[in-house]
Structure 1
């Protein structure tokens, strides 16, 4: 995702200032799992290479996918070109993205809201889950929250990437940008989700294949 040195330097200057920015919405005023007037709820589940039933296998699909989610590798570089942050996801930690939208460049500030690391139960099934969410800061083109998780269902060994979004278009002062986002913003958002799922499937499978090949070539 790394591109020009000029962009990197600009993002390194902007990133330390993000702590001054508030969120541009109040997550406590919404049920992020239910659609509201003017808000979109998106929920995608992408099956990943399975494992045997039981806890995650060391070096297996679940662990590989967690590493990809931790590093934000699922983001399509055709939409998100640059990422600037101070470390792995932790509550309160800020991120700065450089997004491209129909030839225009935008710097988008985000703040990690929480990290999940444990187990969930749904419909009598139990899953090991790891993931995190981020929330939009003042000046972002959108407002809302996106959750990204990796789950392994212990009864079957199924592994999946789960992404959930609650969002709406933020107020945009520039009339040209505002019109463009009204016309194309939602389509770009949906494309981001779908490509994220595809990238997670492809990248997870590729990393597992690389690890398998390395083991097969290991002496002894």
Structure 2
């Protein structure tokens, strides 16, 4: 029997859909990535300042890394995620709920890279990247990194991405993606940086702007933790794996 907690994403049995991600593969090859058919983006935003040198204990860099690891920077009005916090970060499957003009799209991603290094002897970098799985609206990879420039003390949030709409989208979804998708994508990047900067500043003041613990569905958590299910979510059009062929995509929760 499905418990109320399992219906954290509107009327969708999200836990069951999340479990299916284990059998899904990445839906593109990096050899395909080239302009102009792919969007290739890099967005850098200053989110704090420390003294020059290695990251400070409890400082902006450490606070940002904690929030980025937990996917707390994602704006819940655009993208929410369901994942197992006990699973290692590398290889973690995440079910994303993309909220798009009265429609809710459910797509899978997998963390395929964790970054923990010093670049050019000056930049201390931590972050991770996920790639899109079969059935996703898009194809590509997004990398989220927290960078401290140790020569100046500046702390940055850097989002780099290569992406394109999935070629198997149905006609209506593809039209909507062409009209609104790119605009929503750029707004997502901007809102991610705004939220991360605001939460880091709050943490440094000793405030706790995010609820604890986050919403849960079984052993999974929903991120960001200020995500709330609204009554209207049950009335929205639900599309599971919209990037699959029409015969394998459905607007209903799976049985």
Fold match by TM threshold 0.5: yes
Give the corresponding residue for 2:81.
Answer: 83
Give the corresponding residue for 1:149.
Answer: 145
- What RMSD, in angstroms, separates the aligned Cα atoms of the two structures? 1.9
Q: Does 1:176 align with 2:177?
A: no
Q: Does 1:186 align with 2:164?
A: no
Q: Over residues 41-76 of structure 1, what are the superposed CA-to-partner deviations in whole Å (9 max), with x where a residue is unaligned?
A: 111111012000111110010000001110111111
Q: Over residues 91-148 of structure 1, what are the superposed CA-to-partner deviations in whole Å (9 max), with x where a residue is unaligned?
A: 2221111111110011110011110112111xxx611110000000111111000000
Name the one with the larger helix percent: 1
Distance in 2 separating the partners of 1:36 and 1:128: 30
Give the corresponding residue for 2:122.
Answer: 126
Q: Does 1:203 align with 2:199?
A: yes
Distance in 2 separating the partners of 1:151 and 1:30: 28
Q: Say how many residue pairs are matched.
A: 201
Alpha-carbon shift at residue 89 of structure 1 (Å): 5.8
Unmatched 5+ residue regions in structure 2?
Answer: 208-255
Give the corresponding residue for 1:102.
Answer: 101
Give the corresponding residue for 2:7.
Answer: 6
Give the corresponding residue for 1:17.
Answer: 20
TM-score, scaled to structure 1: 0.85
Give the corresponding residue for 1:72.
Answer: 71
TM-score, scaled to structure 2: 0.74
Give the corresponding residue for 1:159.
Answer: 155
Distance in 2 separating the partners of 1:93 and 1:176: 31
